[in-house]
Amino acid sequence: MPSYKLLSQGSMKIDKSNKIQDKYFSRILYLAPHNLADGKRTVCPYATVAKCHEPCLNTAGMGKFSNVQQARIRKTLLFLDEYNTFMEYLIQDINKFIGECYKLDKIPCVRLNGTSDIQWEHQLVDGRNVFEIFPDVLFYDYTKIPTRKVSHIKNYHLTWSYSQANDKYAELFDDVQCNKAVVFRK
């Protein structure tokens, strides 16, 4: 198994999914959510509007360990402060992952927003985003950003993570044009 600089291979949810899947194999990118990395800049632009910054799953599972939190902060600061280096590492990791999937005879699937909400369709390297760089990789994410338009990206599946914590935000439900995830009580 290759080692990765950015992608995680030790997520309970991803590990469980990988064990039960015959066709697909996944990796995930975990960053420090909201403004946790430096207290100012955010990688979750709707965190305060959707009020998901407090109940965030960042500290669930392996995220409860301080070394995991420090790694997420380091990766987030790399994204925020040294974007080109971050993207170089991300491309290297995805290439390694493609090789891993090839050996396993599986289709590579990557979730770039494990604990962030970056609009990857706008993050470019030499004028292309990761979906264009890796057209044979399936990408998937959840988002709190109701205005994202990604239906034209054939290898990217996006699910809007609904929040009722803010009435104005909740009213956008019918306007959002992608799949929706809704938490129910009882």
How far apart (Å, rounded) are the C-alpha atoms in residues 67 and 140? 26
Q: Give the pTM.
A: 0.87
Using only C-alpha atoms, what is the Rg of the chain?
A: 16
Which residue's entry shows tokens 């998937």? 140
Q: Which two tokens stand for residue 137?
A: 């990789």
What does the pLDDT read at residue 104? 94
> Between the CA of residue 31 and those of 71, 92, 157, 167, what are the distances in Å?
8, 17, 20, 28
pLDDT (tens digit, 9 = 90+) per residue, 37-59?
A: 798 998 878 767 666 666 666 55
How far apart (Å, rounded) are the C-alpha atoms in residues 76 and 33? 8
Q: Which positions ≥6 away from 63 have C-beta within 8 Å? A: 30, 57, 69, 72, 115
